[in-house]
Amino acid sequence: MNARLLLVFILTCSVFPVGAETEGFAYQCESSTCFWRRPIVDPPPGWVRDEESGAHFKFNAFVRKGESFTDADAVMYALAVYKKNAAPTLAEHINQRKERHQKANPTAPISKPQVMRNADGKQLTAIASTPATPKGDWETVAFDEEGDYYLVFALSARSKAAHDKARDALTALVRGYSRNPKKP
C-alpha cells in the first residue's frame, strides 16, 4: 500500500470531521486502496468485538464471549454507510432495506417501526424482520443518520429464541453509541 496515500487518509480522517463518531480503515482492493468506516461503539456486557470478522465484512462485528461470529446463534454489527453511495434520505435507505428483505422473503413479515434511543437521546427507527423459512434469520435493525453517514445497528439470529435472548444486548449497543462521546 502506498504509504503517502495512507498518511493522507489518516490526516484527512483526523482533521476533517465526518459528522459521526466513526473510525476509518484502509485496505488493498483491485489495483488501488479502498476505505471503509464503522461506528465507534463498545460491545455490551457479555459481548466482544470480533476484529477479524469485522475487517472481512467491513463493519463493527460483535459476538457473545466465547463464540465465533460465523457459528454463533446471534451476532450484532454496526455499519457506517456513506450517504453519497446510498439512498438520498434515511427513510428511503430504510425502505430499500425493507424492499430487499420482502423480495427475498415475500411471505415474511416486517414489524411496524419501533423506537430505540442512542446515548445522546436521539430516536432511531428500528424494524424487525422474521424469516420466510425455518432456516432464515430473525433480525432487528436500528437506523441512524449522522453527517455523511447512515449508521446501521443490527442483531441477526438463527432462531426467535436466540433473537429474543439477544434483543436487550442490541438495545445496549445502540444506547452505547454517541455522536460526541465523552473523552477520558
What stretches of 69-159 show up as alpha helix (H) in DSSP?
90-104
What is the Cα–Cα distance from 116 to 8, expressed in whole angstroms? 36
Q: Cell 465507534 maps to which residue?
A: 40
C-alpha cell at 159: 432462531
Three-state DSSP state, 155: strand
Q: What is the DSSP letter of 177?
A: -
The one-letter code for the residue type at 9 is F
C-alpha cell at 79: 455499519
What is the Cα–Cα distance from 55 to 147, expressed in whole angstroms? 23
CA 14 → CA 7, 19, 184, distances in Å?
11, 12, 18
pLDDT attached to residue 64: 98
Q: Taking all residues of the chain, what is their mean pLDDT, rounded to a whole number?
A: 86
pLDDT at 32 exceeding the cut of 80: yes
Question: What count of residues does the chain have?
Answer: 184
pLDDT tens digit sequence for 76-99: 999 999 999 899 999 999 999 999
pLDDT attached to residue 73: 97
pLDDT at 12 exceeding the cut of 90: no
pTM: 0.84
More confidently predicted of 2 and 75: 75
Exposed (0-12), middle (13-18) or buried (19+): which is 128, by Cβ within 10 Å? middle
pLDDT tens digit sequence for 99-117: 988 888 888 888 889 999 9
Place 42 in a pLDDT band, splitting at 50, 70 and 90: very high
pLDDT at 13 exceeding the cut of 70: no
Residues 6+ apart with CB under 8 A from 42: 49, 176
pLDDT at 11 exceeding the cut of 70: no
CATH pick for 42-175 out of 3.40.1000.10, 3.40.30.10, 3.10.310.40, 3.10.129.10: 3.40.1000.10
Domain boundaries, the chain: 42-175
pLDDT tens digit sequence for 55-64: 999 999 999 9
Give the DSSP H/E element, type plus range, for residue 75: strand 74-82
Would you tell me how many other CB atoms lie within 10 Å of the CB of residue 146?
A: 20
pLDDT at 8 exceeding the cut of 70: no
pLDDT attached to residue 52: 95
